[in-house]
A and B are shown apart, each in its own frame.
Chain A
Amino acid sequence: EAAVTQSPRNKVAVTGGKVTLSCNQTNNHNNMYWYRQDTGHGLRLIHYSYGAGSTEKGDIPDGYKASRPSQENFSLILELATPSQTSVYFCASGDADWGGAYEQYFGPGTRLTVL
């Protein structure tokens, strides 16, 4: 069965510190995505990738960087974490099916608290 895993599942960071969130997928999907989820805002796209070596800015990329070193792995990096980045972060992977729908499969999420 297709699987997306994330680590860590919970993280407490200090303001100004560096945080790296990791995502691994065994779906062999070309596309991977990072979202944050906040009450009242739903799922917002931070960065995404078309394949190994590529990263693209999503709707809210400020304060975040991404890295896609391989087909399977996609990381989200907060170089200087701020309390406003306290949120739940979801990674997803997906490819087009026969109908052109890019169904996305989500990981379990990482709860990040920046103090």
Chain B
Amino acid sequence: SAVISQKPSRDICQRGTSLTIQCQVDSQVTMMFWYRQQPGQSLTLIATANQGSEATYESGFVIDKFPISRPNLTFSTLTVSNMSPEDSSIYLCSGLAGLGYENIQYFGAGTRLSVL
């Protein structure tokens, strides 16, 4: 299993500023992901965080807006840059732990971001 810790758990930010969200896993995971979720709604994949290389972004998300780092197998950061109220959302970190078909996706508790 894996326990995923995110911080901050919530933040209120001003328009035009940036926020970096940290994600720490207590064990090695093969893959790490960042999602966005509106309360009570489904998850939208932002990107796959790749260790030591550039993240792989989904359609509609770009590196300049959501730079991601993953320096090792247990840590990743997501930065929300030049924020606007439309960026207000819950940001979830996730990791795949286990081997092959037995791997399971674990999630952090999320970061609730409000942009004023």
A binds B: no
Instruction: Write the residues of chain A forming the contact surface with B, with a CB cutoff of 8 angstroms.
Output: none
Instruction: Write the residues of chain B forming the contact surface with A, with a CB cutoff of 8 angstroms.
Output: none
